[in-house]
């Protein structure tokens, strides 16, 4: 990659790329031609899939490729582009199982602790009945894993951004575990039958009680906040 290209990941939600140097010796028409070639090739739904597949071919972990295949299948199944008999038991769960089996546990020890509960939940739930929950669970696990992955596998990321990424890991772990436990509670008529999940549900319910107590205490304290702010140059609530 030319050394004049500077990547800025300072804003976690947006990456900017700058050319730092004299004007490159390339004709504008040549750049536009390349943009046209790329957009023509990838602008369709299948083209986008091809592009994602190409990107995943260079993914550092086998797990990423296998997990993406799970998403491909469930989105296709959900949109009924494919019809499979005994989808859950014969196809879907074994596929998830294979993907989770390839999880890089040595490189992601914290996230690995959450693999078994996820596997158990997917095993207990039926795609026909709980398809939306399953998709949500898998997507959230994927995002959670991605917070750790970006710290491990990255290119051209400034040290400051890396420090920020590392600093949010504990809170993202907690957020994911809270989310997962809340879903297990919502589905506890099914998930409560599993020893692993029952334990997660029990701990979360205890934690919720504690949260409720904290909330009640603060509700009293927060009364009058708006008035206080208005004294500091804020308009009162209209």
Residue ranges binding other proteins (CB under 8 A): 10-11, 13-14, 160, 164, 168, 171, 174-175, 178-179, 182, 210-211, 214-215, 218-219, 221-226, 228-229, 232-235, 237-238
Rank residues 20 and 214 by Cβ distance to other proteins and give the closer one.
214
Cβ closer to other proteins: 2 or 233?
A: 233
Provide the phi-psi class of 21: left if phi over 0, else alpha when psi is between -120 and 50, else beta.
left
- Of 94 and 158, which has the nearer Cβ to other proteins? 158
Give the span between the Cα atoms of 62 and 4, in whole angstroms.
32
Q: How far apart are CA 211 and CA 113, in angstroms?
A: 24
Residues 34, 38: Cα–Cα separation, whole Å: 6
Contact between residue 145 and residue 180 where contact means Cβ atoms under 8 Å apart: no
Q: d(Cα 120, Cα 39) in Å, to the nearest integer?
A: 42
Tokens at 58, concatenated: 């260079």
On the CB side of 178, how many CA atoms lie within 13 Å of its CA?
A: 9
If the CB atoms of residues 99 and 201 are measured against other proteins, the closer one turns out to be 201
Cβ neighbours of 210 (radius 10 Å): 9
56/53 Cα distance (integer angstroms): 5
Q: Which is nearer to other proteins, 55 or 222 (CB)?
A: 222
Q: Tell me the closest approach of the beta carbon of residue 29 to other proteins, in angstroms.
A: 32
Least CB distance from residue 52 to other proteins, whole Å?
Answer: 20
CB of 69 to other proteins, least distance (A): 26
Shortest CB 96 distance to other proteins, Å:
21
Q: What's the closest the beta carbon of residue 164 comes to other proteins, in angstroms?
A: 7
Report the C-alpha gap between 141 and 123 in whole angstroms: 15
**Which one, 66 or 178, has the nearer CB to other proteins?**
178
Q: How far is the CB of 137 from other proteins (least distance, A)?
A: 11
């Amino acid at each position: 990659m030319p050394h004049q290209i500077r990547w800025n990941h300072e804003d976690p939600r947006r990456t900017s790329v700058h050319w730092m140097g004299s004007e490159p010796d390339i004709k504008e028409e040549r750049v536009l031609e390349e943009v046209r070639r790329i957009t023509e090739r990838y602008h369709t739904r299948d083209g986008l899939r091809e592009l994602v597949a190409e990107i995943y071919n260079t993914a550092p972990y086998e797990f990423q490729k296998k997990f993406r295949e799970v998403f491909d299948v469930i989105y296709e199944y959900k949109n009924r582009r494919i019809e499979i008999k005994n989808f859950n038991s014969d196809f879907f769960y074994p596929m998830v199982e294979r993907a989770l089996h390839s999880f890089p546990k040595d490189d992601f020890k914290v996230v690995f602790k959450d693999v078994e509960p996820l596997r158990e939940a997917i095993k207990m739930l039926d795609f026909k009945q709980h398809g939306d929950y399953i998709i949500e669970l898998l997507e959230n696990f994927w995002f959670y894993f991605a917070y750790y992955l970006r710290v491990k596998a990255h290119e051209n990321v400034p040290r400051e951004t890396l420090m920020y990424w590392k600093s949010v890991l504990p809170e993202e772990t907690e957020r994911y575990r809270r989310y997962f436990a809340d879903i297990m509670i919502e589905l506890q008529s099914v998930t409560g039958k599993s020893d692993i999940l029952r334990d997660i549900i029990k701990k979360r319910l205890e934690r919720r009680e504690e949260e409720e107590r904290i909330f009640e205490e603060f509700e009293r304290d927060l009364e009058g906040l708006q008035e206080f702010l208005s004294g500091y140059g804020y308009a009162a609530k209209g």
